[in-house]
Chain A
Amino acid sequence: MMRAQSTPVRRYAATGSLAMLWALPVILTLAYVLPFAGVTLWSVTRPELGLQNYVRIFTGADFQAIFFRTAWVCLVSTAITIPIAYLLAYYWVMGSGRRSRLVEICIFIPFWISVLVRAFGWVVILRNNGLASDVANAFGLGGLSTGRNVWSVITGMVHFMVPFAVLPMASVMRKIDRRVLLAALGLGCRPLGVFWRIYLPMSLPGVFSALAMTFIFSLGFFVTPMILGGGRVVLTAETVFVQMFQTANWGLGAALGVVLLVAVFAILWLSQRVMRIEQLMSR
């Protein structure tokens, strides 16, 4: 069976796509690996050879403050994103036909909307004297802190991340055997108990990958903090930009980029390990 499936593909590989097959590693190396090697090179050669840029990043109080802020904003927005996305994923997978389709549209349309446009939408709602403060005033909640602050940035980030976080969770939820749930119901478990003791644990792998993905994505957020923070909530990604293009500290900017990249891969690696451990536990 395996053989029957792989032969025709091999045949193409042997003929039509042979050139592609050989060209591909070359192109990929050129396109993906070389530029990053270049960035790493810049980080240790500009302005002069040495690790001074990294020393500056890890010892400077200003950079530590930025890293701390980035970690904090990412953690908080991930923590808010996951429950919202879980709820939507649950309704998408378990909901009745019409409701499920409604949720599907809700997830996918924002997915396709420009990140600039979405951030701008939140600026309109959250800025000083914007709609959010009007609504708050109408309910007698004057003095609600709106405008360019951390919470605006987190709101925009959560809004961007939710559709992305729904997908891995939904794909795991879809594989949950409904007969197990029915069996539990049949044995007298209450619906909430079925959810809490069976559905939630079985959907956890999806939650973990959504967690890792959300956190990794939020680490690299640039447009949303830039527009919603308006220069007051500068995170790591924006700092890379500032160092490269506003203060022309190319080496420092490149080093920050390398640090960001290493952080992402570290989290990726860690999440892979956690998931493997999680798989072992479930066995």
Chain B
Amino acid sequence: MSTARLRDLRVFPGFGLLSVGCVVFLYAPIVVLAIYSFNDGRSVTRWAGFSFRWYQTVFANQNIQTAAINSVVIAVIAATVATVFALGAAIATVNRKKGGGEGAYVVLTFPLMVPEIVTAVASLVFFVAVGISLGFATILIAHIVFCIPFAYLPIKARLESMDGTLPSAAADLYASPAKAFLRITLPLLVPGLVSGWLLAFIISLDDFIITALVAGPGATTLPLHIYGMLRLGMTPEVNAISTLMLAASTVLVLISGLLGQAGRKH
């Protein structure tokens, strides 16, 4: 009965139409991109028949493949290392109001608010000052650093919602701290770790600004390559890459959604 009354609240005249409009707005560029990736012609706006030719072009393009592999390798390493740091940070800061926990939280979440171009310039200045030559290594270091806050938040949230008495019970049953951590805390943290890792992975994979500044000559990632292609002129090849990336991120979202549901059931 109460839900029936609440329904009165939901259905305001015009709201439905407006929200459909919002959804169309959110999806319009994505759908258009995907459709024209199958265009037979060279135009990204004039339809000239259906074909897979641009996908063939993408798969035949050695540079795109190198860039894509670079991107994935960097994203996997950066997300993994960042998740390990974030796990340590989360364990060290959660429930530690006194011992600098609050301070660490502020330091860890501030980078999320800093404009990316400023972070990019700061990273570059740092690498130049320290004297590390720009390339694959600097991209990797920069990515690890900016991924830590993203990995940290879901892990922290999970740790905070965790039943704190369980590790305590393990300790009472004579589990050593290390054992209690490995067999109780860590398994319970898995959903947080997974979503933290995925978030860091996507953020790293998608990053353009910081990568562009610290890449130096030679090293390239997928976003850098796509940007180069956009500057040279738009062909449906960019649409095809974009659609492939779209498919990949959709799969990732679905995986994380499924894992999230599985986590909720436990």
Contact = CB atoms under 8 A, between A and B. Distances in A.
A215 to B, nearest CB: 11
A113 B116 contact: no
Given A120-B230, A244-B121, A257-B117, A113 B208 contact: no
A125 B32 contact: yes
A141 interface: no
A188 interface: no
A198 B180 CA distance: 47
Contact of A17 (B32, B92, B250): B92
Contact of A185 (B9, B91, B245): B9
Contacts of A39: 118, 121-122, 125
A90 to B, nearest CB: 8
Secondary structure call for the A interface: helix
Interface string B187-209: 00000000000000010011011
Nearest to B118: A257
Given A6-B95, A110-B30, A194-B9, A123 B234 contact: yes
B44 A16 contact: no
B59 interface: no
Interface in B41-68: 44-45
Given A8-B171, A11-B171, A20-B92, A32 B253 contact: no
Contacts of A182: 2, 5-6
B92 to A, nearest CB: 4
Nearest to A111: B253
B116 A9 contact: no
Interface residues of A, number: 96
A222 B30 contact: no
From A33, A116, A240, residue with most partner B Cβ within 10 Å: A116
Contacts of A163: 26
Given A20-B88, A24-B88, A87-B15, A261 B242 contact: no
Contacts, number: 264
Contacts of B26: 106-107, 110, 159, 162-163
Contacts of A238: 117
Contacts of B23: 88, 102-103, 106
A114 B252 CA distance: 13
B10 interface: yes
A43 B204 CA distance: 28
Interface of A: 4-17, 20-21, 23-25, 27-28, 31-36, 38-39, 42, 84, 87-88, 90-91, 94-96, 102-103, 106-110, 112-118, 120-125, 127, 129-131, 134, 159, 162-163, 178, 181-182, 185-186, 191-192, 194-195, 199, 216, 219-220, 222-223, 227, 237-238, 240-241, 244-245, 253-254, 257, 260-261, 264-265, 268
9 contacts: A9-B96, A12-B181, A38-B129, A87-B15, A110-B26, A120-B238, A191-B12, A260-B117, A264-B114
